[in-house]
Chains A and B, each alone.
Chain A
Amino acid sequence: MRTVCVVGAGMSTWGEVWRKSFRQLFVDAALEAIEKSGVDHLESLYIGCMSGGLFVHQEHLGSLMADYLGMAGIPATRVESACASGGLAVRSAYIEVASGMSDIVMASGVEKMTDCHGDDASAALATAADQEYEVFHGATFPGLYAMMAHAHMAKYGTTRQMLTAISVKNHFNGSMNPVAQYPFKVKPETVESSVMIADPLRILDCSPITDGAAAVILTTEEIAKKLGKPYIKIIGSGAATDTIQLAQRADMTTIKAATLAADRALRMAGKTLKDVNFAEVHDCFTIAELVILESIGLYAPGKAGAAILAGETALDGKFPINTSGGLKSKGHPVGATGVAQVVEVYKQLTGQAEGGRQLKSRPKIGMTQNMGGSGGSSVVHIMEVA
Chain B
Amino acid sequence: MSQFSSRSWREYPQRYRGEASKFTKSGKTYYPPRTIDPETGDKEQTLVKLPDTGKVLTYTVIRVAPYQWGDNAPYGLAIVELTDGTRLMGQMADVNVDEIKIGMEVRVEFRRIQTEGHSGIISYGHKFTPKWW
Interface residues as binary, B60-89 with A (CB distance below 8 Å gives 1, 0 otherwise): 111111111100100101110000000111
**The residue from A132, A138, A148, A199 contacting B65, defined by CB atoms under 8 A apart:** A138
Q: How far is the CA of A150 from the CA of B79 in the complex (A)?
A: 11
Given A133-B89, A147-B60, A150-B58: A246 and B79 interface contact (C-beta under 8 Å):
yes
Q: Name the B residues within 8 Å of A200 (CB-CB).
A: 60
Q: How far is the CA of A154 from the CA of B89 in the complex (A)?
A: 18
Which of A20-28, A118-126, A268-276, A329-337 has 4 or more CB atoms under 8 Å from chain B? A118-126
Q: Name the A residues within 8 Å of B58 (CB-CB).
A: 147-148, 150-151, 154, 252
A252 B91 Cβ-Cβ under 8 A? no
Does A223 interact with chain B (Cβ within 8 Å)?
no
Given A252-B57, A252-B79: A134 and B89 interface contact (C-beta under 8 Å):
yes
Report the tally of A-B residue pairs with Cβ distances under 8 A: 93
Count of chain B residues with Cβ under 8 Å from any Cβ of A? 33
A221-277 interface (Cβ within 8 A of B): 243, 245-248, 252
Given A136-B113, A137-B113, A248-B30: A143 and B60 interface contact (C-beta under 8 Å):
yes
Q: Name the A residues within 8 Å of B77 (CB-CB).
A: 137-139, 143, 147, 198
B89 A137 Cβ-Cβ under 8 A? yes
Q: Name the A residues within 8 Å of B102 (CB-CB).
A: 150-151, 154
B89 A247 Cβ-Cβ under 8 A? yes
Q: How far is the CA of A223 from the CA of B39 in the complex (A)?
A: 46
Does A183 interact with chain B (Cβ within 8 Å)?
no
Does A142 interact with chain B (Cβ within 8 Å)?
yes
B127 to chain A, nearest CB (A): 8
Q: Name the B residues within 8 Å of A245 (CB-CB).
A: 89
* Size class of the contact patch on chain A: 20 to 34
B62 A138 Cβ-Cβ under 8 A? yes
Most B Cβ at <10 Å: residue of A199, A201, A243: A199
A198 B123 Cβ-Cβ under 8 A? no
B80 to chain A, nearest CB (A): 8
Interface residues as binary, B38-66 with A (CB distance below 8 Å gives 1, 0 otherwise): 10000000000000000001111111111
**The residue from A132, A134, A198 contacting B63, defined by CB atoms under 8 A apart:** A198
Q: How far is the CA of A51 from the CA of B8 in the complex (A)?
A: 24
A199 B87 Cβ-Cβ under 8 A? no
Q: Name the A residues within 8 Å of B64 (CB-CB).
A: 140, 142, 197-198
Does B109 interact with chain A (Cβ within 8 Å)?
no
B4 to chain A, nearest CB (A): 14
A126 B57 Cβ-Cβ under 8 A? no
Q: How far is the CA of A143 from the CA of B89 in the complex (A)?
A: 11
A122 B79 Cβ-Cβ under 8 A? no
B60 A133 Cβ-Cβ under 8 A? no
A198 B62 Cβ-Cβ under 8 A? yes
Q: How far is the CA of A138 from the CA of B11 in the complex (A)?
A: 17
Q: How far is the CA of A136 from the CA of B116 in the complex (A)?
A: 9
A136 B60 Cβ-Cβ under 8 A? no
**The residue from B32, B60, B125 contacting A198, defined by CB atoms under 8 A apart:** B60
Q: Name the A residues within 8 Å of B87 (CB-CB).
A: 247-248
B66 A197 Cβ-Cβ under 8 A? no
B60 A132 Cβ-Cβ under 8 A? no
A150 B60 Cβ-Cβ under 8 A? yes
Most B Cβ at <10 Å: residue of A136, A140, A151: A136
Q: How far is the CA of A245 from the CA of B88 in the complex (A)?
A: 9
Interface residues as binary, A140-180 with B (CB distance below 8 Å gives 1, 0 otherwise): 10110011101100100000000000000000000000000
Q: Name the A residues within 8 Å of B125 (CB-CB).
A: 136-137
Nearest residue (CB) in B for A119 is B67
Nearest residue (CB) in A for B88 is A247
Interface residues as binary, B96-116 with A (CB distance below 8 Å gives 1, 0 otherwise): 000000100000000001100
Q: Name 13 extra pairs, CB < 8 A, besides A132-B32, A133-B89.
A: A138-B62, A138-B69, A138-B77, A138-B114, A140-B62, A140-B65, A147-B58, A196-B61, A196-B63, A198-B77, A199-B61, A246-B89, A252-B79
Contact residues of A with B, CB < 8 Å?
119, 122-123, 126, 132-140, 142-143, 146-148, 150-151, 154, 195-201, 243, 245-248, 252
Task: Give 10 pairs: A residue, B residue, CB < 8 Å, sorted on A.
Answer: A133-B32, A139-B89, A140-B62, A143-B60, A147-B58, A147-B79, A198-B60, A199-B60, A246-B79, A252-B58
Closest 8 CB pairs of A and B: A146-B60, A151-B58, A199-B61, A119-B67, A147-B58, A247-B87, A198-B60, A247-B79
